[in-house]
């Protein structure tokens, strides 16, 4: 009976150790995926208040969704969007980027400061 108890204790310890290491790997993978996300923006040539935004993802997962906050109280969704600012100024645009990899979703929120004339 003591031998069965020892085996069960050892198996439990191994199970916990493996479970914890997988959770840590998942966290590291999500942080690592954020490196592959880049924001791009450009001003429209004919309208200085119109900004073109896009997300570039070069990792091995799949880009699931992109939710934009333009820093002026408005938002949009999509990997490629345009936004017209009502007034000139400096805004902080944020993209909530979700990547699916290995059955998990990883979300990062890169920011970009833009100046509109």
Q: Could you give the domains of the chain?
A: 2-116 (2.60.40.10)
Helices (H), the chain: 2-33
The verdict on pTM exceeding 0.95 is no
Pairing of strands 89-101, 104-108: antiparallel
For residues 3 and 19, give the distance between their C-alpha atoms in angstroms, rounded to a whole number.
24
pLDDT digit string (tens) for 56-111?
999 999 999 999 999 999 999 999 999 999 999 999 999 999 999 888 899 999 99
> What values do phi and psi take at 69, rounded to 5?
-125, 120
Return the percent helix, strand and coil in the chain, to nearest 5.
Answer: 30, 45, 25
Query: Are the C-beta atoms of 66 and 78 separated by less than 8 Å?
Result: yes
């Amino acid at each position: 009976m003591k031998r069965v108890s020892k085996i069960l204790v050892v198996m439990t310890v191994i199970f916990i150790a493996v479970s914890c290491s997988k959770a840590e790997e998942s966290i590291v993978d999500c942080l690592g995926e954020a490196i592959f996300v880049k924001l791009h923006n450009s001003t429209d040539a004919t309208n200085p208040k119109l900004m073109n935004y896009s997300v570039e993802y070069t990792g091995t997962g799949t880009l699931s969704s992109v939710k934009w906050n333009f820093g002026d109280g408005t938002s949009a969704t999509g990997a490629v969007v345009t936004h017209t600012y009502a007034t000139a100024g400096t805004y902080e645009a944020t993209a909530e980027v979700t990547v699916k990899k290995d059955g998990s979703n990883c979300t990062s929120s890169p920011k970009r400061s833009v100046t509109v004339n």
